[in-house]
Structure 1
Amino acid sequence: MAKKINIVRNSGTLDISYSWRTASSWFILLWAIFWNSFVIFFLLVEAGWFISVHLIVGVLVGYFAATRFINKSTITVSTSALKIAHGPMPWPFAAEHDIPARSLVQLYVGKSSVRINNQPTYNLKAKLDTGAELTLFHAEPDRELLMELERTIEAYLHISNDETFDLSRSGHTALDLNQMKEQLEMLQPIKKWLPNAMVAKMEEAEAKIHQKAAEKTLVSPTPGAPPQGREDWEVSLHPGAVRPRALPASSNDFNFPLYSAPSGEVFHWNHEPFRVGRSAQIDWDNDHQSSARQFEITGVNKPDTRYLYTENERGRWSYYEERRLDDDEVSKLGFSASHHPLRFDNGPERYYPRDAQRGHRFVAAAAQAVEQYIYFTTSSVTQFRALRPMGGGWEVYVMEPVDAGGFDPVPNK
């Protein structure tokens, strides 16, 4: 591998960095020294305007050589975001990214149209759950470097590597199954002329479509045992009612499990004591998200009321601090009755919704069907959560990610 990757696993983050220096950087440096020595010589003999263009080229080549030796790329991965930065010297052709981790469906390496020294280059791309694709690294000659980045990030975020057409994998949860079924039926007349491998894929897809359709005909989620130690859900429900599921455990136990804290429990957040107040559990019917909770927490030593939202996605609990927007703010974003906007602007940033989430919210003993959209932008970790109870209006919250490493239990005395 031409470049060495440095990987550091901290509390709550994965930090990956590598230098821009390669073997060819020395050639660029020698060329810059030679060229600028040539330019300086002619400046000393007062060559005048003749040397002006050469001077500009010399400055650019020298700057480019300096970036090769000084700059490095840094990738910070957490349960809330994937951030890519380059520096310390600015370089306009290396884009920086700040992507919500929950919107990442797949990473993959593809061949670039750019060739360097008649050699192929490669791109590292990210597929989002909206269907959009972002190029994270462009025209990189070292394919093994990008493959290593892909494997490391996907392993940390528990993203399955999907190399084949598979409806059960990430990125295909929003497929219109009826439309897919119609397309497969149109291919039936020519099925006997198709290669056996393609026919096998078609039959596999048909089986998955029938399975998905069968799942959608089932009544609401299978009742699970009520969460332990949770007063809100100890009230008996009428027979046949939807019950809250047991909250899934986190895939790592490094952080305090605030997601399962009962009402009245005291915990520390950044060394300040807080008490869990009102809360509501949401059970999703989606493939990636299973459950979520809304919290009201209050300060123990001083009046400080805050609101948190946590959601389990791909085995990890992510936390956000929230502020609910008032009716005027909600209206300005384009929400009305049962309508949700396909995009909206918040200052210079444009937000887009991810796939719809549908399930039930449990407050006290009551189950309420809800739908939810998370709005995101690639230029900020700030997100918007729009939830609507069936038959009700929109509840819209602005969300800021919270580092779960800041939560601690109250030490035993």
Structure 2
Amino acid sequence: MSGAIPILPGPVPGASRPATLGVMGGGQLGRMFVHAAQTMGYAVAVLDPDPVSPAGRAADVHIATGYEDEAGLAQLMQRCEAITTEFENVPAAALTTLAAQRPVAPGPHAVAVAQDRIAEKTHFDRCAAHTGVAPAPWVAITNAEALAQVPDRLLPGILKTARLGYDGKGQISVEDRAQLAQAWDALHRVPCVLEQRLALRAEYSVILARGADGQSVHYPLQRNWHRNGILAVTEVDPNGSAAGPDWAAQAMAAAEAIAAALHYVGVLCVEFFVVDDGSSTGRLVVNEMAPRPHNSGHYTIDACDVSQFELQVRALAGLPLTAPRLHSAAVMLNLLGDCWWRDGQPHSPDWARVLTLPGVHLHLYGKLQARPGRKMGHLTVTATDLPRARAVAWQAAQWLGMAPWPVS
């Protein structure tokens, strides 16, 4: 993507339509991108096979085909001036096809690296030579010989499929070699990585946006809590109290190096852990990256002057990237389908009660069926400081039947 000629919003000169941006994928991230792009004057075309996808229902044009359908890809290229993706498992080959005719951000190579944990961790190791922030000790397991040669130091560990694992899927915790062999069998002996299991102190993420000119901007370091491998809560504070000592600068530098080495264009999330290493402060390790806006950045819609989705629009269209300002402390609660069930029975959350609380912002994604573990929406609480935002979020969580989260 050259980015030399910005794709400006509004009518296309000499054409009878506005400038149109394309999205591969129709989920909630695509839906929020659609809203941001339309607010800025763009039309949006979404390619997704689901006829009732959240983004497809909000877009100006919905191309309801598979991601590798030649006719669908041709229609997307015909309609759009530039194209992005809203989830990392869009086939990289389809993005390569699109990139031959249109600017695509992020590019196919960056997405391909994020799709494969072996490639991703190899990339992190290369960047660690400059940043000092490495992933957990790991090894690739692609055949029986590699399984037999796993170093003892990596056990106990976590076996993860190299591809198509997200939100805790495709992961099995193992204690010893016998369990490792059983786990690899259970995962059908597909290529995997084995990570050494580390004692976690905290989880953080960095969201940045990088332009084709190499300019990058970022949001403050965000603290996250996961349950069953799915993000549950994100906290962020303008005063920095959501982050541990010195982690912010170190994480930002590592995330920027990871993006720069990929020649990345677009919004990127990089997740980090603080782990015990025998010291009083612990050690920062990089976990994984997402080549798109991220669940942990949804608070930016309500707590920042520029959201992660507007930055995605700007990066894709080649527009200036302004440093976002966090104007409020925020707590984001991920609303899973579990909130719509109580004691095994369907249950309608009492949104009217929740919305009586100060600083509450409700975002529902337009999904037609609530299932346990399915991301149905999010709730952001903004306040002048983090303790106030947290107190309101705790009350909302209690009313929604969500478990509290620890604070340290």
* TM-score, reference length from structure 2: 0.30
Q: Report which of the two has the higher share of helix.
A: 2
* TM-score, reference length from structure 1: 0.30
Q: Report which of the two has the higher share of strand.
A: 1
Which of 1 and 2 has greater Rg? 1
